[in-house]
Amino acid sequence: MMKQLTSILLLTAMLLFSMGCSKKDKQTESGSQINGFYSGEKTEVASANQTKPHVKMMELPAPLTDRPEQILRRKGYTASYNRETKQPNWVAWHLTKSHTYGKNQRTDEKFTEDNDVSAPRATDWDYYNSRYDRGHMCPAGDNKWDAEAMRQSFLFTNICPQNHNLNKYEWNDLEMLCRDWARQYGVVDIVCGPVYYKDADRKYIGRNRLPVPDAFFKVVLCRKGTPKAIGFIYPNDGKKRSMSDCVHTVDEVERITRIDFFPALSDDIENRVEAKANLKAW
- Start-to-end CA span in the chain (Å): 87
Virtual torsion, Cα 233, 225, 100, 87, nearest 10 deg = -30
Q: Closest Cα partner for 181 from 224, 238, 146, 233?
A: 224
Q: What's the distance, CA 176 to chain centroid? A: 17
Residues 6+ apart with CB under 8 A from 13: none
> Secondary structure of 161-211 in the HEC alphabet?
EEEHHHHHCHHHHHHHHHHHHHHHHCEEEEEEEEECCCCCCCCEECCCCEE
Catalytic residue numbers, as ranges? 136
